[in-house]
Chains A and B, each alone.
Chain A
Amino acid sequence: MSTIIIGIGNPVLSDDSVGIKVAHLLGHALRDRPDVTTAELWAGGLRLMEALKGHEQAIIIDAIVTEGGMPGSVYTLKPSDLRQSRNTCSAHDACFPEALELGAMLGMSLPQQITIWAIEAGDVETFGEKLTREVERAVPTVVEGVMRQIELEKPLPTSGGDRT
Chain B
Amino acid sequence: MRRITINPITRLEGHGKIEIFLDEHGNVANTYFQVPELRGFEQFCVGRPAEDMPVITNRICGVCPEAHHMASVKALDQLFGVEPTPAAKKIRELFYMAFFVTDHITHFYALGGPDFILGPDAPPGARNLLGVVRKVGIEVGKQVIDCRARNHHVIQMLGGRGIHPVAGVPGGWSKVVSAAERAEIETIASQNVEFALFTLKIFDQIVLGNPAYLDLVMSDVYHHRTYSMGTVDEQNRLNFFEGRIRVVDPEGREFLKYEAADYARHIAERVEPWTYLKFPYLKKIGWKGFVDGPQSGVYTATPLSRLNAADRLATPLAQEQFERFYQTMGAKTIAGRHQPVHHRLATHWARLIELLYAAERMQELAGDPEITSPEIRNIPQGIVGTGVGSVEAPRGTLTHHYVSDDRAILTKVNLVVGTTNNHAAISMSIRKAAEKFVHGFNVVEEGLLNRVEMAFRLYDPCFSCATHALPGAMPLIVSVRNHEGKTLKSFRRDG
- Please report A residues at the B interface, Cβ cutoff 8 Å: 10-13, 16, 40-44, 46-47, 50, 65, 67, 82-95, 98-99, 101-103, 105-106, 108, 124-128
Of the candidates A88, A103, A105, the one having the most CB atoms from chain B within 10 angstroms of its own CB is: A105
Q: Which residues of B contact A11 (CB under 8 A)?
A: 59
**The one of A92, A93, A103, A128 that contacts B44, using a Cβ cutoff of 8 Å:** A128
Contact call A13/B38, Cβ cutoff below 8 A: yes
Q: Which residues of A contact B473 (CB under 8 A)?
A: 89, 91, 94-95, 98
Ordered nearest first, which 8 A-B pairs have the shortest CB separation? A42-B62, A43-B62, A127-B44, A93-B110, A65-B12, A127-B40, A126-B39, A89-B472
**Residue B141 at the chain A interface, CB threshold 8 Å:** yes
Q: Which residues of A contact B12 (CB under 8 A)?
A: 65, 84, 86, 124
**Residue B306 at the chain A interface, CB threshold 8 Å:** no
Contact call B472/A12, Cβ cutoff below 8 A: no
**Residue B65 at the chain A interface, CB threshold 8 Å:** yes
Q: Which residues of B contact A46 (CB under 8 A)?
A: 106, 110, 129, 145, 148
Question: Please, how many angstroms separate the alpha-carbon atoms of A81 and B293 in the complex?
Answer: 48
Q: Given A65-B13, A105-B141, A106-B138 in contact, is the A42-B468 Cβ separation under 8 Å?
A: yes
Q: Which residues of A contact B163 (CB under 8 A)?
A: 40-43, 47
Question: Please, how many angstroms separate the alpha-carbon atoms of A82 and B10 in the complex?
Answer: 12
* Contact stretch, chosen from B176-184, B203-211, B220-228, B459-467: B459-467
**The one of B40, B133, B470, B471 that contacts A126, using a Cβ cutoff of 8 Å:** B40
Contact call A13/B467, Cβ cutoff below 8 A: yes
In chain A, what residue has the closest Cβ to B45?
Answer: A127
Q: Which residues of B contact A93 (CB under 8 A)?
A: 106-107, 110-111, 129
**The one of A42, A83, A85, A91 that contacts B59, using a Cβ cutoff of 8 Å:** A42
Question: Please, how many angstroms separate the alpha-carbon atoms of A84 and B149 in the complex?
Answer: 28
Q: Which residues of B contact A108 (CB under 8 A)?
A: 145
Interface hits, B137-180 → A, CB 8 Å: 138, 141-142, 145, 148-149, 152, 163-164
In chain A, what residue has the closest Cβ to B134?
Answer: A105
Classify chain B's interface size: 35 or more
In chain A, what residue has the closest Cβ to B141?
Answer: A106
Known: A10-B468, A93-B110, A102-B129. 16 other contacts (CB 8 A): A10-B62, A10-B466, A40-B163, A43-B468, A43-B469, A44-B468, A50-B152, A83-B11, A90-B469, A94-B128, A95-B472, A102-B130, A106-B133, A125-B37, A126-B40, A127-B40
Contact call A106/B60, Cβ cutoff below 8 A: no
**The one of A42, A44, A128 that contacts B65, using a Cβ cutoff of 8 Å:** A42
In chain B, what residue has the closest Cβ to A129?
Answer: B44
Q: Given A85-B11, A89-B469, A124-B467 in contact, is the A102-B133 Cβ separation under 8 Å?
A: yes
Contact call B468/A127, Cβ cutoff below 8 A: no
**Residue B56 at the chain A interface, CB threshold 8 Å:** yes
**Residue B316 at the chain A interface, CB threshold 8 Å:** no
Q: Given A16-B467, A102-B130, A105-B138 in contact, is the A90-B63 Cβ separation under 8 Å?
A: yes
Report the minimal beta-carbon distance from B12 to chain A, rounded to whole angstroms. 4
Q: Which residues of A contact B128 (CB under 8 A)?
A: 94, 98
**Residue B41 at the chain A interface, CB threshold 8 Å:** yes
Q: Given A65-B13, A84-B11, A102-B129 in contact, is the A127-B39 Cβ separation under 8 Å?
A: yes
**Residue B43 at the chain A interface, CB threshold 8 Å:** yes
**The one of B36, B61, B138, B148 that contacts A125, using a Cβ cutoff of 8 Å:** B36
Q: List 19 A-B contacts (CB under 8 A).
A: A42-B65, A44-B468, A47-B62, A67-B13, A83-B494, A84-B11, A89-B473, A90-B62, A90-B469, A91-B473, A92-B110, A92-B462, A95-B472, A95-B473, A98-B473, A101-B130, A105-B133, A106-B133, A106-B141
In chain A, what residue has the closest Cβ to B149?
Answer: A50
Contact call B470/A94, Cβ cutoff below 8 A: no
Q: Which residues of B contact A99 (CB under 8 A)?
A: 129
Report the minimal beta-carbon distance from B476 to chain A, rounded to whole angstroms. 13
**Residue B474 at the chain A interface, CB threshold 8 Å:** yes
**The one of B43, B56, B107 that contacts A92, using a Cβ cutoff of 8 Å:** B107
Q: Which residues of A contact B111 (CB under 8 A)?
A: 92-93
Q: Given A44-B468, A65-B12, A89-B469 in contact, is the A128-B40 Cβ separation under 8 Å?
A: yes
Question: Please, how many angstroms separate the alpha-carbon atoms of A106 and B140 in the complex?
Answer: 10
Question: Please, how many angstroms separate the alpha-carbon atoms of A94 and B387 in the complex?
Answer: 36
Q: Which residues of B contact A86 (CB under 8 A)?
A: 10-12, 467, 469, 472
Question: Please, how many angstroms separate the alpha-carbon atoms of A126 and B472 in the complex?
Answer: 19
Question: Please, how many angstroms separate the alpha-carbon atoms of A108 and B494 in the complex?
Answer: 28
Question: Please, how many angstroms separate the alpha-carbon atoms of A85 and B130 in the complex?
Answer: 20
Question: Please, how many angstroms separate the alpha-carbon atoms of A93 and B103 in the complex?
Answer: 10
Contact call A127/B133, Cβ cutoff below 8 A: no
Contact call A125/B59, Cβ cutoff below 8 A: no
Hey, what's the 0/1 contact readout for B29-62 against A, CB within 8 Å counting as 1? 0000000111111011000000000001001111
